[in-house]
Amino acid sequence: MARIVGVGEVLVEMMATAPGQGFRAPGLFAGPYPSGAPAIFIDQAARMGASTALIACAGDDDFGRCVLDRLRANGVDISHIRAVPDVATGIAFVCYRADGGRDFIFHMGNAAAGRLTMDDIAPAAFDGCDVLHIMGSSLFAPEMGAVMRRALALTQAAGGKLSFDPNVRLELLTRPGNADLIRELTARAHYLLPSEADLAFLFPGMAPDDAARRLLDGPAACVFLKRGAAGSSYFDRNGSFDMPAFAVTEVDPTGAGDCAGATFMACLLEGRTPQDAARRANAAGALAVTRRGPMEGNSMPAELDAMLEGH
Amino acid sequence: MARIVGVGEVLVEMMATAPGQGFRAPGLFAGPYPSGAPAIFIDQAARMGASTALIACAGDDDFGRCVLDRLRANGVDISHIRAVPDVATGIAFVCYRADGGRDFIFHMGNAAAGRLTMDDIAPAAFDGCDVLHIMGSSLFAPEMGAVMRRALALTQAAGGKLSFDPNVRLELLTRPGNADLIRELTARAHYLLPSEADLAFLFPGMAPDDAARRLLDGPAACVFLKRGAAGSSYFDRNGSFDMPAFAVTEVDPTGAGDCAGATFMACLLEGRTPQDAARRANAAGALAVTRRGPMEGNSMPAELDAMLEGH
């Protein structure tokens, strides 16, 4: 059983219940839902059967326990998630525009999630670590650089590799360090799991396929490109392929890319071919968008089997 | 027209919609509702006809604009509320226990509200200031001491007085400085607006009436004691009286004490007798608990007149 260690934020999400509802006047929000891109990823990797651990900071409050309950129930090792006593668990508020876009308000770097330090990167978490997974959303402050470098050093000492999802967020790009750290970790990763938007940030104006191949000029061994409703593509030094999407009706895209990436990585690590891993990742992403909530759309292997059999 | 200046936090509030709903599992929350004890107070003082200003920090986001829209609409001078660019407006989540108690999760000192500094205390805000109103809920960090002392010095230079509501919150009492600052401002106030719980903190084991009279040993000229469903009491060096409550069905107690205190202070400053001010304060507090939301139960003078005529 491959071991995947995640480092990053746990959040709860509060979701507007009506399309067009905004943040400036009262409405109804559903939540708290367990969230945080690294938490969504690691939850799905655990569901797929990987041995998983998440290193993170939550508040010592019921929002934090809401996330930990979920991760524990799905088999994630939560013993390295620290409960910070004097600041609440981070929160993401999301509203859905009538045009399909989304607006967010975050308490993240200023919340418990922002308290992660080098001291939280416990060597014991990396025993037998095959893959360290990091996401650009976690790079909200320059201090996260030292945290992530230490995690990567421990992973490499254990013979493991870095999996990196640039997960570029416009609201974080203005923060000191965010863009530089995304470039640094992109250049150091063995597995890259970008979206098309991430490639547009890394290589402005370049076609996504060309940008993905460009990433293979560095140490990356493979690129799993998440293309949303267009499916996914895979690139390594032997070639590439496109994997079509499953046609579904989208209810909520939140977390779908994280879920697909985790499925791809867990499948690859358990010895499936890139084609099989990509097909299952697309199935997991499709199921994720049909369900409302950041982590609510994560799937068990039997659900993916059923989805694959149905097509 | 008397001028009242408030200094403290603006927040939005997210309110659980079902009794017994907690923070550990998803439910529905209504919000954002304009909140923050000093904001509730200054909104009500403005409704009562006082010239008001609030010095505060909000996020540069729609949660902040939600609060500012309300204050502006009711005539509060919001020109001294600074929009902080890189951290979101503070948030209070509230859940209602089946037994009538409430549970809270706050992002306050770590949110925009926590960015208030001495530089925000603009001398121009204190031109003609009759009363500076401060609340214990705003004293969430030792740095708030310097902020409040500067505001008080500018108020005194303008010939104004301090109105202080200790507003003791158990979750803040463990923070450095909170208890000391509450004691310091209690000892420096001209008008004191405590609750019975506040008196129990200031004078443990002492009967509320005795504690209120003890406060008159210092520089305080009068004490308006908020007793919830039991009404209010007033104490000065000439004597004291009890003012009975209006019998209403409580829907949500949030903000009722702030609303009552603001009504008392605004009425006193416009020349009403303490008896008349206390009666109107009790009417305002009673109306406040019949409406859901921290600031949603604030009243206009005509509503108070109607309430008084009905009894």
Quote the number of domains for chain B.
1
B15 to chain A, closest Cα gap in Å: 9
Q: Are B29 and B17 in contact (CB under 8 A)?
A: yes
In order of A183, A217, B95, the CA distances from A259 in angstroms are: 23, 27, 31
Model pLDDT for residues B203-228, shown as the tens digit of each residue: 999 999 999 999 999 999 999 999 99
Within a domain: residue A95? Answer: yes
Report the share of chain A in percent with pLDDT over 90: 94
Strand partners, B82: B57
Q: Which of residues 6-65 of B touch A (CB under 8 A)?
A: 14, 17, 22-33, 59, 61-63, 65
Q: What pLDDT is attached to residue B310?
A: 85
| Chain A residues closer than 8 Å to B63 by CB | 23-24, 105
Q: Are B233 and B227 in contact (CB under 8 A)?
A: yes
C-alpha A184/C-alpha A166 separation (Å) is 10
pLDDT band at A1 (very low <50, low <70, confident <90, very high): confident
- The answer to whether the Cα torsion of A75, A76, A78, A80 is positive or negative is positive
Cβ pair A29:B26 closer than 8 A: no
Torsion of CA A301, A306, A307, A310, to 10 degrees: 160
pLDDT band at A100 (very low <50, low <70, confident <90, very high): confident
What pTM does this model have? 0.94
A143 to chain B, closest Cα gap in Å: 17
Cβ pair A28:B30 closer than 8 A: yes
Model pLDDT for residues A234-244, shown as the tens digit of each residue: 999 999 999 99
Cβ pair A31:B30 closer than 8 A: no
Q: What phi and psi, each to the nearest 5 degrees, are found at residue B5?
A: -115, 130
Instruction: Inform me whether the C-beta atom of residue A110 falls under 8 Å from chain B C-beta atoms.
Output: yes
Model pLDDT for residues B160-216, shown as the tens digit of each residue: 999 999 999 888 888 889 999 999 999 999 999 999 999 999 999 999 999 999 999
Q: What pLDDT is attached to residue B61?
A: 97
Burial class (CB in 10 A: 0-12, 13-18, 19+), B183: middle
Q: What pLDDT is attached to residue A22?
A: 96
Q: Say whether pLDDT at A274 is over 90.
A: yes
Q: What pLDDT is attached to residue A310?
A: 85
Of B14, B59, B107, the CB nearest to A88: B107
Model pLDDT for residues A26-43, shown as the tens digit of each residue: 999 999 999 999 999 999
Model pLDDT for residues B32-79, shown as the tens digit of each residue: 999 999 999 999 999 999 999 999 999 999 999 999 999 999 999 999
C-alpha B65/C-alpha B32 separation (Å) is 11
- Indicate the residue type of B306: A
**Count of C-beta atoms within a 10 Å radius of residue A245:** 18
Within a domain: residue A309? Answer: no
Instruction: Inform me whether the C-beta atom of residue B173 falls under 8 Å from chain A C-beta atoms.
Output: no
Of A28, A30, A65, the CB nearest to B24: A65
Residue of B nearest to A28 (CA): B30
Report the share of chain A in percent with pLDDT over 70: 100
HEC readout, A100-118:
CCEEEEEECCCCHHHHCCH
Within a domain: residue B278? Answer: yes
Q: Alpha helix locations (H) across A174-255?
A: 178-188, 196-202, 208-215
In order of A130, B87, B88, B89, B111, the CA distances from B60 in angstroms are: 42, 8, 7, 7, 11
Of A24, A30, A111, the CB nearest to B69: A24
C-alpha A287/C-alpha A262 separation (Å) is 14
C-alpha B299/C-alpha B45 separation (Å) is 10
Structural domain range at position A289:
3-301
Within a domain: residue B223? Answer: yes
Of B28, B61, B110, the CB nearest to A87: B110
Question: What's the mean pLDDT in A47-62?
Answer: 98
Q: Is B231 left (phi over 0), alpha (psi -120 to 50) or beta?
A: left
CB-based burial, A65-95: b 16+ in 10 Å, e otherwise: bbbbebbeebebbbebbbebeebbbbbbbbb
Cβ pair B26:A32 closer than 8 A: yes
pLDDT band at A278 (very low <50, low <70, confident <90, very high): very high
Question: What's the mean pLDDT in A33-57?
Answer: 98
- The answer to whether the Cα torsion of B58, B62, B67, B71 is positive or negative is positive
Distance between start and end Cα atoms, chain A:
28
Q: Say whether pLDDT at B8 is over 90.
A: yes
C-alpha B13/C-alpha B31 separation (Å) is 6
Residue of B nearest to A62 (CA): B24
Instruction: Inform me whether the C-beta atom of residue A87 falls under 8 Å from chain B C-beta atoms.
Output: yes
- The length of chain B, given as a count of residues: 311
Cβ pair B105:A111 closer than 8 A: no
The position carrying tokens 């480092």 is A7
Within a domain: residue A310? Answer: no
Model pLDDT for residues B66-81, shown as the tens digit of each residue: 999 999 999 999 999 9
Q: What pLDDT is attached to residue A14?
A: 98
Q: What pLDDT is attached to residue B83?
A: 98
Q: Say whether pLDDT at A266 is over 90.
A: yes
Q: Alpha helix locations (H) across B10-158?
A: 37-47, 62-73, 143-157
Question: What's the mean pLDDT in B289-295?
Answer: 95
Residue of A nearest to B31 (CA): A26
Size of interface A-B (CB pairs under 8 A): 91
C-alpha B133/C-alpha B190 separation (Å) is 10
Cβ pair B62:A23 closer than 8 A: yes
Of the candidates A165, A194, A211, the residue with the CA atom closest to the CA atom of residue A40: A165
Question: What's the mean pLDDT in A189-206?
Answer: 97
Cβ pair B105:A63 closer than 8 A: yes
Within a domain: residue B97? Answer: no
Model pLDDT for residues B91-106, shown as the tens digit of each residue: 999 999 988 888 999 9
Of A29, A33, A175, the CB nearest to B14: A29
ipTM for the complex shown? 0.93
Q: Say whether pLDDT at A133 is over 90.
A: yes
The per-residue pLDDT of chain B, averaged, comes to 96
Q: What pLDDT is attached to residue B68?
A: 98
Cβ pair A28:B29 closer than 8 A: yes
* CATH code where residue B257 lies: 3.40.1190.20
pLDDT band at A121 (very low <50, low <70, confident <90, very high): very high
C-alpha A171/C-alpha A155 separation (Å) is 29
Within a domain: residue A79? Answer: yes
Within a domain: residue B92? Answer: no
Q: What pLDDT is attached to residue A172?
A: 86
| Chain A residues closer than 8 Å to B107 by CB | 87-88, 91, 107, 110-111
Instruction: Report helix, strand or coil for B82.
Output: strand
Cβ pair B62:A88 closer than 8 A: no
- Stated as kind and residue range, the H or E segment containing B262 is helix B256-269
